[in-house]
Amino acid sequence: MNALVATNRNFKLAARLLGLDSKLEKSLLIPFREIKVECTIPKDDGSLATFVGFRIQHDNARGPMKGGIRYHPEVDPDEVNALAQLMTWKTAVANIPYGGAKGGIGCNPAELTKSELERLTRVFTQKIHDLIGIHADVPAPDMGTGPQTMAWILDEYSKFHGHSPAVVTGKPIDLGGSLGRDAATGRGVLFATEALLNEHGKSISGQKVIIQGFGNVGSWAAQLIHEKGGKIVAISDITGAIKNSNGIDIPDLLKHVKENKGVKGFHGGDSIHPESILAEDCDILIPAALGGVINRGNANEIKAKFIIEAANHPTDPEADEILSKKGVVILPDIYANSGGVTVSYFEWVQNIQGFMWDEEKVNNELRTYMTKGFKDVKEMCQTHNCDLRMGAFTLGVNRVARATVLRGWEA
């Protein structure tokens, strides 16, 4: 099931539980604005190349829109729409004053030189600079983009509007980026997992954990869970998968990954087929890679008691049903991976104040937000007698609906 269908389905279920008026329900789904621009740049060899850039701004009832910019050859408009909508609910669940957006450029960053990427980013910014802004829409990095991309957007935007560090988040530290931003999503996953286990009278120490995906989120989650005494028994990335039932030595693995660009060939564990990792024996499964990895085909084989969704929509709705019948507790993505956007909010706040925080303050504030977020989701579960996913969706949708009505926007 594609992302848009799944997101719309969850939204409609939440709207029904909340008893939303059908006109309001319809207006909450329609994006505020969809932007599509042509970006033509000279390549290094002098030839011209044209790319399509876009930005979907979903909702701004609760504040400026917020969401990533991805550079990827197959940018599917449906998926981007779903991700923009997901950001609206995610920021509302985290209780930060933002709405949702998402965007990107249809290109393959691996086939472009650094100077071509810079020209492309600057042309894209020129085309959308009057539609984004500190109090309108604040982009961030996503697949195929990073702090350098944000630095180019900031510089180009500032040519039109004066120095504006708060126009993007995920910037390099030297240009007003926040300490702790790099680890934020992974650290949020740790805090979310602790909150959930605490509810079940457990702690991370001694839990057997599997992490699928070893990019930024997966590797930070692994490191932080390992430091807390969690036993990471299997890890996979695009190069392969490894397992060690006595626990993988994470600092050692991080060194290996840095030198070999992947987990493949790591000597501190046995090599296994990447697809079988989800069915390995563990207490906690953390999908931290792509969407749709847990589906009807493999849901029955999952042995984990808890699934923490560090990736966006890793679990298909069909798998959701199978797993809940088995008694598996799923902590949904719109809460579990909101650490990144929460620290992006802290970065924006620091830029607006012109006063930067130390890393300890960033991490403590994140813990406060994640812990409170879990409590709020649990309250919605009790009110509406539903699972954690619906608890999170009803919480997010309700906050956006209330803001919409208070502003007098409902049809």
3-state helix, strand, coil in the chain (%, to 5): 50, 20, 35
- pLDDT, tens only, 166-225: 999 999 999 999 999 999 999 999 999 999 999 999 999 999 999 999 988 999 999 999
- Segment 152-165 shows an average pLDDT of 98
Query: Is 108's pLDDT higher than 70?
Result: yes
Give the closest residue to 76 by CA, choosing from 2, 8, 1: 2
- pLDDT, tens only, 280-338: 999 999 999 888 899 998 999 999 999 999 998 899 888 999 999 999 999 999 999 99
Query: Is 76's pLDDT higher than 80?
Result: no
Percent of the chain with pLDDT over 70: 100
CA 292, CA 274: separation in Å to the nearest integer?
A: 15
pLDDT at res. 312: 86
pLDDT at res. 2: 72
pLDDT at res. 409: 84
pLDDT at res. 390: 96
Work out the angle at residue 289's Cα, subtended by the Cα atoms of residues 288 and 292, and round it to the nearest 5 degrees. Answer: 105
CA 306, CA 90: separation in Å to the nearest integer?
A: 21
pLDDT at res. 292: 82
- Segment 15-19 shows an average pLDDT of 95
CA 284, CA 219: separation in Å to the nearest integer?
A: 16
The residues annotated with a catalytic role in the active site are 102
pLDDT at res. 411: 61
Beta-sheet strand order (sheet of 65-72)? 33-42, 48-57, 99-106, 65-72, 137-141
Q: Per-residue b/e over 165-176, b at no fewer than 16 CB within 10 Å?
A: bbbbbbbeeeeb
Confidence of residue 410 (pLDDT cuts 50, 70, 90): confident
Query: Is 117's pLDDT higher than 80?
Result: yes
